[in-house]
Amino acid sequence: MKVLNFGSLNLDYVYQVESILIPGETQASKDRKTFCGGKGLNQSIALAKAGIPVYHAGMIGEEGDILLETCRDNGVNTEFIRKIQGPSGHTVIQVDKDGQNCILLFGGANRSITREFVDQVLENFEKEDIILLQNEISELDYVIDRAYEKGMTIILNPSPYDKGLEKCDLSKVSLFLVNEIEGYQITGEKEPDKILSRIKEIYPDARVVLTLGGDGSVFQDHTGIYRQGIYKVKAVDTTAAGDTFTGYFISSLIDGLPVEEGLKLAAKASAIAVSRPGATASIPMKEEVLNTIL
């Protein structure tokens, strides 16, 4: 069984601000750092740091070598990452004094994924393999359709949620990882329990992880509902906390851990990520997660 993550790779330009800007406001930032990120890359690195061999497929632009190096340094297989002309994906991220963020995304090379490239990559995978997806690349609907045809298990983090997702046949997804906003966008429901029951009605065969910020997370499958609280830490930067959770939770499923343990592991890994700056840089190794007492 192989794991493929077909997803974005971004350069994150992270600005430290007193408070997140409101419309019309100009504010001097206190600091700027560049980190490697992208929901795709973060989730691949979280999987790799959790001990799961992962192939990342995606595209970088002319200034994106550092994204490739970061994959390699963290043990992510880069065979299916292509470098193209033009800019890489990037973000402008404001982080305030409480570690909260807001993210402006520029798709760049992530939006140059073609159907031909998707076919080339998927040729190397088969039934029994797992594909992990987010919503920061072009041709997402095509990837889902082709992966489903092959019989691959499709895991989707529909983030950021936008109109593009409406083109996707989400009934082909085996596991959703959503936050409350995405849960609302998919179901029209705001209450966590209503989001879960609506997802069950629309996608009866799918399992769901619903993350609830400070209220923890909930997992639902045909056996029932499992809840997990958060580990409280001083938030430095919440960027990639959700991606860390995603990578670690999926690793626990692959390793065959009971759901309760998987949710705990993912919650702890993501709390550690929140306690330090950056995206990929903040994701802990499994040994650290296991040895940290929170």
Output the CA–CA distances (angstroms, integers) from residue 15 to 53, 73, 283, in the order listed.
32, 25, 19
Query: x/- string (CB under 6 A) for ligand RIB, residues 6-25?
Result: --x-x-x-------------
Applying the rule CB under 6 A, the residues between 55 and 84 that interact with ligand RIB are none
Of 53-61, 148-156, 199-207, 240-248, the segment contacting ligand RIB by CB under 6 A is: 240-248
| Shortest distance, position 278 Cβ to ligand RIB, whole Å | 9
Applying the rule CB under 6 A, the residues between 128 and 147 that interact with ligand RIB are 136
Nearer to ligand RIB, 74 or 239 (CB): 239
| Shortest distance, position 239 Cβ to ligand RIB, whole Å | 5
Q: Which of 279, 281, 283, 289 binds ligand RIB (CB under 6 A)?
A: 279
Tell me if 243 contacts ligand RIB by CB under 6 A: yes
| d(C-alpha 82, C-alpha 88), whole Å | 11
Note whether 13 and 38 are within 8 A (CB).
no
Of 33-41, 124-132, 141-149, 178-186, the segment contacting ligand RIB by CB under 6 A is: 33-41
Q: Is 36 left (phi over 0), alpha (psi -120 to 50) or beta?
A: beta
Note whether 248 and 50 are within 8 A (CB).
yes
| Shortest distance, position 27 Cβ to ligand RIB, whole Å | 21
Encoded amino acid at 192, one letter: P
| d(C-alpha 7, C-alpha 166), whole Å | 18
- Residue 58 CB partners (closer than 8 Å, separation 6+): 6, 7, 8, 9, 38, 40, 41, 80, 81, 82, 109, 110, 113, 137
Q: Which of 39, 49, 146, 207 binds ligand RIB (CB under 6 A)?
A: 39
- Specify the residue for token string 């991220």: 93
Q: Which of 7, 37, 183, 247 binds ligand RIB (CB under 6 A)?
A: 37
Per-residue DSSP letter, 232: P
Q: Which of 4, 5, 6, 42 binds ligand RIB (CB under 6 A)?
A: 42
* Binding site residues, ligand RIB, CB under 6 A: 8, 10, 12, 37-39, 42, 91, 103, 105, 136, 239-240, 242-243, 279
